Amino acid sequence: MKKFWALFFWFWPLVALYVCLIAPGRNWWFPSKPLSTLGHQIDGLFYLILIIVTVTFVGTEFALGYALWKSAVSEPGKKAWFSHGSHKLEIVWTIVPAFVLVFISLTQLDVLADIRVLSRFPESVKEAPVAEVMARQFEWRIRYPKPGTELMTSPQPGDLYFVNEVHVPAAVPTMINLRTQDVQHAFFVPRLRVKQDAVPGLIIPVWFEIEEAGDYELLCAELCGWGHYKMKARIVAESPEGVSAYLTRLEREQNEDGVQEAETASVK
Amino acid sequence: MTGLKRLGLAIMLHTAWLKRAGFAGILAIVATGCSDDSSSFSISDRTSSLIPEAQSGIADTPGVVNLLEDKFGNPQQLKAWTKLPVQWGGAAAAVEVFAADGDGAKVRFTVAEGQEFPAKATFVNVVTGAGAGRTLGLSSWDAATGEAVLTGLDGVVLAAGDTCSIDGGAVIQSGRVLYMRHCSHCHGTAGDGNGPTAQYLYPRPRDYRHGVFKFTSTNDMSKVSREDLLRVLRYGIPGTYMPSFLLMKDEELTSIVEYVRFLSMRGEFERKLVNELASDYSADAVESRLKDEQRADIVAELGKFLSEDLPGVVDGIGGELEESWVAADTEEARIIPSVPRVPDNEESRRRGRELYLSKTLNCADCHGIDGAGNGPQTMVYEKNPVTNVPYDEPGLHDVWDNLNQPRNLHTGIFRGGRRPIDLFCRIHAGIKGSRMPSFKNTPHEDIWHIVNYVLSIPFESEPGATGLAAGPAAAPAAEAAPAAGE
């Protein structure tokens, strides 16, 4: 029975190791491969930490198993060695984790800065948000600047409005201004690995470069009230021409005076 | 049974159940749930103000509550009053060929005249013949030929000529499921605008039972069209808690629209029925009549009314509902401006402002001289039109008895939509149920001037300055861009 426990504690690290090795290839950790440039860096950090944690876990478990095994096979009656108060050991297990943590925090600094710090944003997007995404209980309200003009922080005549659907260009860096009208929300696009809180009173620039055209799910990731689960929207990534065609269509719809529409209806 | 469940739960909770009942107790709760899962359409306050005999009938003669159950059913079992213009879903059909085949049977149906087979179908309700009243499953269905394989026959044999409904009520049932999931927590099971989350909301969620919806593209006297309801579901109502359901599928949205129309018609039916009875048979009316009448006589008179006159009244109300709801979806009901929008320039806005301030239109009386929603009418104490009692607070009230102050036009939030045609409809038809009146007799060109003015109000440099403030250069506060993370 004593040997069983040693084998038991050796068995689990092997399982953990196996799972960690096959998980990335099978998308067990993430809903898909990362589909934005920042996503690759974020996933890279995740896997780095995963490796560190796996090595630590497997090492600790094996040591535990070894201790159990050793005492299981030792002669009956042999007394345990009392090891409390080893100054050397204390120093080792304080310094080693400290180095690991400092290493992690230094490694992620660049990625964090790329995500958050405006001065490190790609030059092409710094001054040119494509849209304002206004979170509110419980939907996403989108404001685009009038085609040909820049997005202003306050609404301008000719601005275009939509709800729960954002059209952005694919394959080029894109920036949106994130705001909230009421409480805290979070702009979360799992497949792009973008997650940013929307904070009352702040205009928070969020940038991403979507690698593949297509539809992306946008969710609220900050419990914002009883209707939090309703806050689902769609990001449509398409060619820049597609986006401008969309905006032209939106502009036409937003200026409908009911007359043109009625004429086409009677033609049908 | 439910009572037992509740009792069981109460006992467990009150006797440190975790210790005693332990895991089995938790399992019992998980397995049975904590509450009764059946729901009901609540009756309106006005219905419950009637004397009990008028509510639930006398002997076999139905009262208001029985008629509601009879015509509309309950949330578990909806009833289709086919007179009403609701797309219930499914199609009526007759059996053409029936061949039993083991547990199932191969059948071919012919669709009733003027109808079409639904593209997808999963069940058949047998209406006439040996299997009348039975619901049978469909394991395969071909909408093109009407051929199907029936399951769950259990010995039932259908004969050629038996009538059935294929997937009958599928739309309204799917509408009900979606409504209960996404809408009922605010709008209530019966569409009374009084769901569990309603009390936290301002403005209050819509109570459908008046059959009145605010933002429509139909004439002032018409009801809401299906398209209008769909638009509200898709785009939400900014400035209120009504969110957008843009990401739901079209067929899901249209089935919700049908269910909302169904609930509205149910509510209207109830209102109109109670209107017939309230003046003579409300609890208050009966109490005052008791001064010089005997209660037994009043009840006898009510019995006579219920059995002799009410069937006709019910038919009449059904006819009214049918007519008005059908009319809302016709081209005649739709507001189509006779002239296109006049160009939005300074001149037009100035003209709009003049009209806004004019004696004839008098927009400023409610919306205020500078459009801040603070006109003199907001200080008036109104009377409740039904009870004739003044409201507690000053200001304008809507038909739902909620304080409903005129819109501040400076916010740039347009609840019914920001397209010029949306604003045109708001002015032309008024906002139904609210005190915003219809200006349908105003020349359309003038309405367009007002639309241009109203659209410019959020960008005015100062109240009444109708100049074109277009272009980012004129925008104040545009420079301040506090960016987090710098």
**pLDDT at res. A30:** 87
The residue ranking higher by pLDDT, B26 or A171, is: A171
**In this structure, are B359 and B302 located in the same domain?**
no
Q: Provide, as residue numbers in chain B, all residues whose Cβ is less than 8 Å from the Cβ of A156.
A: 459, 470, 472, 475, 478
Strand partners, A89: none
Note whether residue B64 is domain-resident.
no
- Tell me, what CATH number does B160's domain have? 2.40.30
Yes or no, beta carbons of B484 and A158 under 8 Å apart: no
Q: Provide, as residue numbers in chain B, all residues whose Cβ is less than 8 Å from the Cβ of A230.
A: 182, 243
**In this structure, are B206 and B280 located in the same domain?**
yes
Yes or no, beta carbons of B478 and A152 under 8 Å apart: yes
What are the CA-CA distances from residue B190 to residues B68, B260, B390, B435 (Å)? 12, 9, 29, 25
Strand partners, B403: B397
Note whether residue B446 is domain-resident.
yes
Q: Provide, as residue numbers in chain A, all residues whose Cβ is less than 8 Å from the Cβ of B449.
A: none
The structural domains of chain A, with segments of one domain joined by +, span 2-73+88-116, 124-256
Yes or no, beta carbons of B197 and A149 under 8 Å apart: no
Q: How far apart are CA A81 and CA B342, in angstroms?
A: 96
**In this structure, are B278 and B151 located in the same domain?**
no
Find the residue in A nearest to B342 (Cα).
A257
Taking only the tens place, the pLDDT of each residue in B313-343 is 999 999 999 999 999 999 999 999 999 999 9
The residue ranking higher by pLDDT, A34 or B441, is: B441
**In this structure, are B192 and B326 located in the same domain?**
yes
Yes or no, beta carbons of B485 and A163 under 8 Å apart: no
Nearest Cβ partner for A258 among B238, B336, B477: B336
Each residue's pLDDT tens digit in chain A (268 positions)? 778 988 998 999 999 889 888 888 888 888 888 899 999 999 999 999 999 999 999 999 999 999 889 888 888 888 877 778 889 989 998 999 999 999 999 999 999 999 999 999 999 998 899 999 999 999 999 999 999 999 999 999 999 999 999 999 999 999 999 999 999 999 999 999 999 999 999 999 999 999 999 999 999 999 999 889 999 999 999 999 999 999 999 999 999 998 865 555 544 3
Residue B12 structural domain: 2-32
Q: How far apart are CA A198 and CA A212, in angstroms?
A: 26
Q: Is the pLDDT of residue B377 over 80?
A: yes
Taking only the tens place, the pLDDT of each residue in B386-435 is 888 999 999 999 999 899 999 999 999 999 999 999 999 999 999 999 99
- Name the residue among B362, B122, B328 with its Cα closest to residue B222: B328
**In this structure, are B324 and B185 located in the same domain?**
yes
**How much is the average pLDDT of B147-153?**
86
Among B108-112, B127-131, B437-441, B460-464, which range has the highest average pLDDT? B437-441
How far is A207 from chain B, CA to nearest CA, in Å? 12
Note whether residue B86 is domain-resident.
no
**In this structure, are B97 and B215 located in the same domain?**
no
Taking only the tens place, the pLDDT of each residue in B284-301 is 999 999 998 999 999 999
**How much is the average pLDDT of B269-284?**
93
Yes or no, beta carbons of B424 and A257 under 8 Å apart: yes
Yes or no, beta carbons of B483 and A204 under 8 Å apart: yes
Contacts by B152-157 with C-beta closer than 8 Å and gap 24+?
B153/B100, B153/B103, B153/B104, B153/B105, B156/B126, B156/B130, B156/B131, B157/B98, B157/B100, B157/B130, B157/B131
| DSSP collapsed to 3 states, chain B | CHHHHHHHHHHHHHCCHHHHCHHHHHHHHHHHCCCCCCCCCCCCHHHHCECHHHHHCECCECCHHHHHHHHHECCCCECCCCCCCCCCCCEEEEEEEEEEECCEEEEEEEECCCCCCCCCCCEEEECCCCCCCCEEEEEEEECCCCEEEEECCCCCCCCCCCEEEECCCHHHHHHHHHHHHHCHHHHCCCCCCCCCCHHHCCCCCCCHHHCCCCCCCECCCCCCCHHHHHHHHHHCCCCCCCCCCCCCCHHHHHHHHHHHHHHHHHHHHHHHHHHHHHHHHEHHHHHHHCCCCCHHHHHHHHHHHHHHHHHHHHHHHHHHHHHHHHHHCCHHHECCCCCCCCCCCHHHHHHHHHHHHCCCCCCHHHHCCCCCCCCHHHHCECECCCCCCECCCCECECCCCCECCCCCCCCCCCCCCCCHHHHHHHHHHCCCCCCCCCCCCCCHHHHHHHHHHHHHHHHCCCCCCCCCCCCHHHCCCCCCCCECCC
Nearest Cβ partner for B470 among A157, A199, A226: A157
Q: What percent of chain B has pLDDT over 70?
A: 88
Find the residue in B nearest to A158 (Cα).
B470
Give the residue carrying structure tokens 């749930």. B33
Question: How sure is the predictor about B468, in pLDDT bands with cuts at 50, 70 and 90?
Answer: low
Question: How sure is the predictor about B21, in pLDDT bands with cuts at 50, 70 and 90?
Answer: very low
Question: How sure is the predictor about B156, in pLDDT bands with cuts at 50, 70 and 90?
Answer: confident
Yes or no, beta carbons of B244 and A119 under 8 Å apart: no
Yes or no, beta carbons of B485 and A153 under 8 Å apart: no
Residue B58 is encoded by which pair of tokens? 């006398």
**In this structure, are B113 and B257 located in the same domain?**
no
Q: Which residues of B31-56 are buried (b: 16+ CB within 10 A; e: fewer)?
A: eeeeeeeeeebebbebbebbbebbbe
B55's CB contacts (< 8 A; 6+ apart) are B43, B47, B48, B63, B64, B65
**pLDDT at res. B484:** 43
**In this structure, are B378 and B464 located in the same domain?**
yes
**In this structure, are B149 and B234 located in the same domain?**
no
Q: Provide, as residue numbers in chain A, all residues whose Cβ is less than 8 Å from the Cβ of B480.
A: 153
**How much is the average pLDDT of B204-229?**
96
Quickly count: other Cβ atoms within 10 Å of residue B219's Cβ. Answer: 18
Total structural domains within chain B: 4
- Name the residue among A182, A195, A176, A193 with its Cα closest to residue A139: A182
Find the residue in A nearest to B241 (Cα).
A137
Yes or no, beta carbons of B448 and A257 under 8 Å apart: yes
Note whether residue B26 is domain-resident.
yes
Q: How far apart are CA A155 and CA A132, in angstroms?
A: 10
- Judged by a CB distance cut-off of 8 A, whether residue A253 touches chain B is yes
- Name the residue among B80, B69, B2 with its Cα closest to residue B36: B2
How far is A123 from chain B, CA to nearest CA, in Å? 15
How far is C-alpha B343 from the chain's CA centre?
37
Note whether residue B363 is domain-resident.
yes
**How much is the average pLDDT of B135-142?**
87
What are the CA-CA distances from residue B303 to residues A219, B49, B62 (Å)? 58, 18, 9
| Residues within 8 A of A (CB atoms), B 358-377 only | none
Burial (Cβ within 10 Å: 0-12, 13-18, ≥19) of residue B24: exposed
**In this structure, are B427 and B323 located in the same domain?**
no
How far is A249 from chain B, CA to nearest CA, in Å? 13
Kindly give the pairing relationship between strand B91-101 and strand B104-111.
antiparallel
Determine which of A182-191, B100-109, B166-175 has the lowest per-residue pLDDT on average. Answer: B100-109
CATH number for the domain running over A124-256: 2.60.40.420
**In this structure, are B228 and B108 located in the same domain?**
no
| Residues within 8 A of A (CB atoms), B 420-479 only | 420-421, 424-425, 448, 455-456, 458-459, 469-472, 475-478
Yes or no, beta carbons of B469 and A157 under 8 Å apart: yes
Note whether residue B60 is domain-resident.
no
Yes or no, beta carbons of A256 and B481 under 8 Å apart: no
**In this structure, are B140 and B196 located in the same domain?**
no
- B189 neighbors B40 (Cβ within 8 angstroms): yes
- Tell me, what CATH number does B440's domain have? 1.10.760.10
How far is A219 from chain B, CA to nearest CA, in Å? 12
Yes or no, beta carbons of B243 and A153 under 8 Å apart: no
- B150 neighbors B104 (Cβ within 8 angstroms): yes
Determine which of A10-19, B149-158, B305-314 has the lowest per-residue pLDDT on average. Answer: B149-158
Q: How far apart are CA A254 and CA B149, in angstroms?
A: 50
